[in-house]
Amino acid sequence: MEKIRALIIANFLWRGRLNRSGLYISIGLFYAFGLLALPFQIVLAVATSLEAAWLAVGLNGLLLIFGVAMAWNLLGAVVRRLHDRSKSGLWLLLFFGPHAAVVALVSRIPFSEQKMITLAMILGMVVAAPFLVWGMVEIFCLRGREETNHYGPDPLATMAGEPAASLP
């Protein structure tokens, strides 16, 4: 339990490095905490249908805070994973920015303009998809750097019992 607590705290601070298994655990925790929010969402759906406005406003606020905290934790895990690859968290802009731009573009096109939507989707596949795939491979598939980098020591080496080098 202490390891999970330390993982969550490190993810919130966005400091250090995270190996692939730590990222997968962080994603699992994201879904587990999402399941904890499910009863609140059910109560919110019932409260909205009963027109209990005060309860709906309170639960919406609670779920918003909870969702932002979960997203911050997961984003921190991905940034730490990039740190393990000796990359800055700003690489997320390159990996996912073109995809987000295409999604924003397509969402602005009226539904009646099917030809324009199709053209934008093709543009997205040609321009944005390679960056998205590159980012997914970097984050989920490739092994972290074995040596100590300016984000910290190799997390696998510190798990194996080697002494951790201090952060600069």
pLDDT in tens, 49-95: 666 777 778 888 889 999 999 999 999 999 999 999 999 999 999 99
Radius of gyration of the chain (CA): 20
Q: Is 124 strand, coil or helix?
A: helix
pTM of the model: 0.81
Over residues 101-125, mean pLDDT: 89
Per-residue pLDDT at 165: 44
Question: Percentage of the chain surpassing pLDDT 90?
Answer: 52
Q: At residue 167, what are phi and psi to the nearest 5 degrees?
A: -70, 140
Over residues 98-108, mean pLDDT: 89
Question: Crossing angle for the helix pair 53-84 and 2-13, nearest 10 degrees?
Answer: 90
Per-residue pLDDT at 167: 42
